[in-house]
A and B are shown apart, each in its own frame.
Chain A
């Protein structure tokens, strides 16, 4: 999959008419633009106006992208498009000025027009920046990197294509800051919020989109990533031009996102409380919340704890969190229930008549201590010695780049049985360090290595 601007560039010749046509239809079909405007999370949805027929994951298209060098013809096209666009916006504004005095009652139309103009202006700014960026030889590709990368657009594409989107007409700007609070903390974080229905925009992704493993794809090799930052780090391997500070910097938040409506998400599972059809519907705050919620509530729990072999999880991070504490039960009740926290045990004992705190027997005490010692040491070792190569590993291993996430693998690595793989896994890292000139293929071995490692484990 490519970055945001590259498909646009690549398809510019073919799509320009489309764009112009759609831009011309701007006033007649404001919803379309509102959609784009209201998807700041996906980056600049507004500037990927190609039809939904593009493949959802974009992997096929991304691999076919021609090499992006600066071409005068393409630049000319760009400028022409900007000119065209400016004229359109001018027209719209002029018409607004003309109609302003005559139809004061139709505020709804005016609002829509204003939104459309805003969207257009935003689009123009982005185009200008990207074009200007490609004009400078030293910053040849920074423009493309400074755009929200592929995954964003990809997701937006999905929304545009298959998701049902419910635009509400009332806009409350006050709740904008809520978007920042959204965290992977899960569904629960949502419950305290009292957003009125209609004061936010509701999005619902389909199952496939939720379960898609990657949202960011390398435009050169097609490798998928969960995070944009990881992709940017990956891009370094494709050449020196990706190593400039501008290319590595976090893409600036687009101006259009500042004024967008608060977003909330609905679970696609009908009957779920988080589904918009539910009587007591409670929306999910962020896309991550929704993903985790859907996996936890409606997916099979495929991750099993390697220590207790009983606890199962559908979200990998949950498994890791569990594995951190699995094995050392500190607080036991006489009924056999165990708790990881003392206050939970005491609440339990307080609740049930006859239950009493149970002290661990002598043998279990010893093993408990041993376990505790082990658990205290392992993460320390991991963060110090393994963190660096795990980064690479995790991207290919379908995990989030997260120190927490290292635990489960750590066991494998530390055990003597897998020591070989442990050594092996250092290989790519050395390779990268030693041969930075290998350029775009420097990252590829990590996948190979990944598969080799899996073979080795099996």
Chain B
């Protein structure tokens, strides 16, 4: 594909006088297909292509759908260049003023369907009014974190009649009046987030439930809604996803008020952190939602056998999240009896998870694909033997800090669960033998083996050899590794996107040099690696052009020189943590 990009410019360059330019004879659809392929392989290729010739530039302009400008002041020019852009992502522009948005509307952007203002401040109702006037077909608007936006802004949003997705997350000044305007003005709304909208009350939500019958996803987390509007929400005919995280007013009374309501469309319910809900409320609410696929009860209520037995009425349940819950005796066992269809089970940070109960559960849940037993400190090799023998098709296993599991137990994972794609063994007794066993998991894409002090380069070399799909590896504080291991990973895993080697003091510039061949690397964390210097950073800057996140805090050998390279090559760098411990250096040459 890279070859193709290089050929086309050449052709253009060498036949400038040909009456029909070759590119013009190609249908746009074909060019777009080619460009899609090229972009998939190397995102920067499009830029090279656009710079090749006028025709290429024009073709690339027509092709571009998503605009993610770094600065809002070039927005009108960008919109003029990319007339077919349908999505405008301003999340990299911290300051977007009313004038900017007015300019957007001035540059005629009727094709815009989605605008993301989630990380921007500085605009108000006037800007939104301009946007509403300019983009009549706007369907997706993200106004998250708009703490300055009030009801007048919401009233302007309400003029976007075709809005289907709207996020008002953390718009704390929007009251029922604003929500009422939106509810009446945007009848097509499919997805709405009102998370942290603390000024919203039952009245507004009731009106919303009455007017926006097409709602599919509704997030009311951390709002003050009560029992009053709960029933009307549950009567929404198409509601599929409902999040009520941290709604303190949603208690047993509210959950139990749905006697005659039966919502057959609801598929996902999240009532995590609802402190006032207990097992009784949960038992009564699941009776009203027979088609539930996903239930999140994290930090919500103790898991009792009676509650779990009520899950029999939600026979299709696939995902059950019980993070931070307290298991009563036989509560976990009940899950094995009642929820046989569960494919994803999260028991992270739960208390009361014992070997016997967990072994029973996994023996019943044959189709389990994802299991999270993070910080279940009571389980031992017995559980692990049961998990690995019963759930051989596991694709994700997270068991950070299961400190009573021995290295022998961990070896079972690699031996038996060869379909694993995601594995978190942080802070476990993992050794090189365990890593060697993991080499059988050829589809492994994410491997977290931080704070595994017994692993060494030898173990990593197995991973490097047999896990070519690896995208994310976490070696945080795994002090036994050095350049050789990292080099093996870098050579064997060309897809690597993220690597964390913080506090691996054995790491030197050689590691970075080898990692610079991983062209897709976008996250590099080498905090506290004192032997890494500017030359290593310069290699990374030159090789990993997509680098967007870099942590070089406490890397005292890195100086201006490295920064200069970064500033020159790493255009997509967004987040970098380096200033705090670097006051003895002068980064005079650094600019973003």
Q: Point out residues on A near B: beta carbons under 8 Å.
A: 331, 342-343, 346, 349-350, 354-357, 359
State whether B203 touches A342 (Cβ < 8 A).
yes
Give Cα A108 to B180, complex, Å. 66
State whether B207 touches A342 (Cβ < 8 A).
no
Evaluate whether A346 and B180 lie within 8 angstroms (CB atoms) in the complex, with A359-B151, A359-B152 already known: yes
Residues of B within 8 A of A349 (CB): 180, 184, 207
Give Cα A286 to B533, complex, Å. 94
State whether B185 touches A356 (Cβ < 8 A).
yes
Other contacts beyond A350-B210, A359-B178: 8, CB < 8 A? A331-B177, A342-B203, A349-B207, A350-B207, A356-B181, A356-B184, A357-B176, A359-B177
Give Cα A355 to B158, complex, Å. 12
Residues of B within 8 A of A346 (CB): 176, 180, 203-204, 206-207
State whether A355 touches B184 (Cβ < 8 A).
yes
Select from chain A the residue with minimum beta-carbon distance to B151: A359
Give Cα A170 to B177, complex, Å. 56
Residues of A within 8 A of B151 (CB): 359
Give Cα A349 to B152, complex, Å. 18
Task: Supply 22 A–B pairs (Cβ within 8 Å), ascending by A.
Answer: A342-B176, A342-B203, A343-B203, A346-B176, A346-B203, A346-B204, A346-B207, A349-B184, A349-B207, A350-B206, A350-B207, A350-B211, A354-B184, A356-B180, A356-B184, A356-B185, A357-B177, A357-B180, A357-B184, A359-B151, A359-B178, A359-B181
Is the C-beta of B439 less than 8 angstroms from some C-beta in chain A?
Answer: no
In this complex, the member of A342, A346, A349 whose beta carbon has the largest number of chain B beta carbons within 10 angstroms is A346
Chain B 123-164 interface 0/1 with A at a Cβ cutoff of 8 Å (1 = within): 000000000000000000000000000011001001000000
Q: Which 6 A-B pairs have the closest CB atoms?
A: A356-B184, A357-B180, A346-B203, A357-B177, A350-B210, A359-B151
Residues of B within 8 A of A343 (CB): 203
Give Cα A355 to B184, complex, Å. 7
Q: Which of B35-63 contact A (CB under 8 A)?
A: none
Q: Which of B156-211 contact A (CB under 8 A)?
A: 158, 176-178, 180-181, 184-185, 203-204, 206-207, 210-211
Shortest C-beta distance, A354 to chain B (Å), equals 7
Residues of B within 8 A of A342 (CB): 176, 203
Shortest C-beta distance, B208 to chain A (Å), equals 10
Select from chain A the residue with minimum beta-carbon distance to B177: A357
In this complex, the member of B152, B158, B177, B211 whose beta carbon has the largest number of chain A beta carbons within 10 angstroms is B177
Shortest C-beta distance, A64 to chain B (Å), equals 64
Residues of A within 8 A of B176 (CB): 342, 346, 357
Shortest C-beta distance, B530 to chain A (Å), equals 59
State whether A359 touches B203 (Cβ < 8 A).
no
Evaluate whether A357 and B181 lie within 8 angstroms (CB atoms) in the complex, with A342-B176, A346-B176 already known: yes
In this complex, the member of A331, A356, A357 whose beta carbon has the largest number of chain B beta carbons within 10 angstroms is A357
Shortest C-beta distance, A391 to chain B (Å), equals 41
Which residue of the partner chain, among B152, B158, B204, contacts A356 with CB atoms under 8 Å? Answer: B158
Residues of B within 8 A of A331 (CB): 177
Residues of B within 8 A of A359 (CB): 151-152, 155, 177-178, 181
Residues of A within 8 A of B211 (CB): 350
Residues of B within 8 A of A357 (CB): 176-177, 180-181, 184
Shortest C-beta distance, B199 to chain A (Å), equals 12
Select from chain B the residue with minimum beta-carbon distance to A334: B184
Shortest C-beta distance, B126 to chain A (Å), equals 12
Shortest C-beta distance, A225 to chain B (Å), equals 45
Residues of A within 8 A of B155 (CB): 359
Select from chain B the residue with minimum beta-carbon distance to A342: B203
Give Cα A199 to B485, complex, Å. 99
Residues of B within 8 A of A356 (CB): 158, 180-181, 184-185
Residues of B within 8 A of A355 (CB): 184
Shortest C-beta distance, A123 to chain B (Å), equals 58
Shortest C-beta distance, A365 to chain B (Å), equals 10
Shortest C-beta distance, A333 to chain B (Å), equals 10
Residues of B within 8 A of A350 (CB): 206-207, 210-211
Select from chain A the residue with minimum beta-carbon distance to B155: A359
Chain B 316-334 interface 0/1 with A at a Cβ cutoff of 8 Å (1 = within): 0000000000000000000
Shortest C-beta distance, B157 to chain A (Å), equals 12
Shortest C-beta distance, A346 to chain B (Å), equals 5
In this complex, the member of B152, B176, B180, B184 whose beta carbon has the largest number of chain A beta carbons within 10 angstroms is B180
Residues of A within 8 A of B206 (CB): 346, 350
Give Cα A350 to B213, complex, Å. 13
Give Cα A349 to B178, complex, Å. 13
Give Cα A331 to B207, complex, Å. 15
Shortest C-beta distance, B180 to chain A (Å), equals 4
Give Cα A357 to B158, complex, Å. 11
Give Cα A125 to B211, complex, Å. 70
Give Cα A357 to B208, complex, Å. 12
Give Cα A349 to B158, complex, Å. 15
Give Cα A329 to B211, complex, Å. 25
Give Cα A9 to B171, complex, Å. 78
Shortest C-beta distance, A339 to chain B (Å), equals 12
Shortest C-beta distance, A318 to chain B (Å), equals 27
Shortest C-beta distance, A242 to chain B (Å), equals 55
Shortest C-beta distance, A282 to chain B (Å), equals 32
Give Cα A350 to B177, complex, Å. 13
Shortest C-beta distance, B340 to chain A (Å), equals 43
Select from chain B the residue with minimum beta-carbon distance to A357: B180
Select from chain B the residue with minimum beta-carbon distance to A330: B177
Give Cα A357 to B151, complex, Å. 10
Select from chain B the residue with minimum beta-carbon distance to A354: B184
Residues of A within 8 A of B181 (CB): 356-357, 359
Shortest C-beta distance, A104 to chain B (Å), equals 58
Give Cα A18 to B176, complex, Å. 73
Give Cα A346 to B205, complex, Å. 10
Give Cα A255 to B203, complex, Å. 52
Give Cα A100 to B452, complex, Å. 108
Residues of B within 8 A of A354 (CB): 184
Select from chain A the residue with minimum beta-carbon distance to B203: A346
Residues of A within 8 A of B185 (CB): 356
Give Cα A356 to B207, complex, Å. 10
Residues of A within 8 A of B204 (CB): 346
Select from chain A the residue with minimum beta-carbon distance to B158: A356
Shortest C-beta distance, A20 to chain B (Å), equals 69
Give Cα A357 to B181, complex, Å. 6
Select from chain B the residue with minimum beta-carbon distance to A352: B184
Give Cα A252 to B155, complex, Å. 62
Give Cα A355 to B181, complex, Å. 9
Select from chain B the residue with minimum beta-carbon distance to A346: B203
Shortest C-beta distance, A265 to chain B (Å), equals 38
In this complex, the member of B155, B203, B206, B211 whose beta carbon has the largest number of chain A beta carbons within 10 angstroms is B203
Give Cα A346 to B152, complex, Å. 17
Give Cα A346 to B204, complex, Å. 8
Give Cα A350 to B207, complex, Å. 6
Give Cα A343 to B206, complex, Å. 11
Residues of A within 8 A of B177 (CB): 331, 357, 359
Give Cα A350 to B152, complex, Å. 20
Give Cα A356 to B178, complex, Å. 10
Residues of A within 8 A of B152 (CB): 359
Give Cα A355 to B180, complex, Å. 10
Give Cα A346 to B183, complex, Å. 11
Select from chain A the residue with minimum beta-carbon distance to B125: A359
Select from chain B the residue with minimum beta-carbon distance to A361: B152
Residues of A within 8 A of B158 (CB): 356
Give Cα A359 to B185, complex, Å. 14
Select from chain B the residue with minimum beta-carbon distance to A362: B152
Give Cα A180 to B152, complex, Å. 50
Give Cα A112 to B207, complex, Å. 62
Shortest C-beta distance, A338 to chain B (Å), equals 13
Give Cα A346 to B179, complex, Å. 11
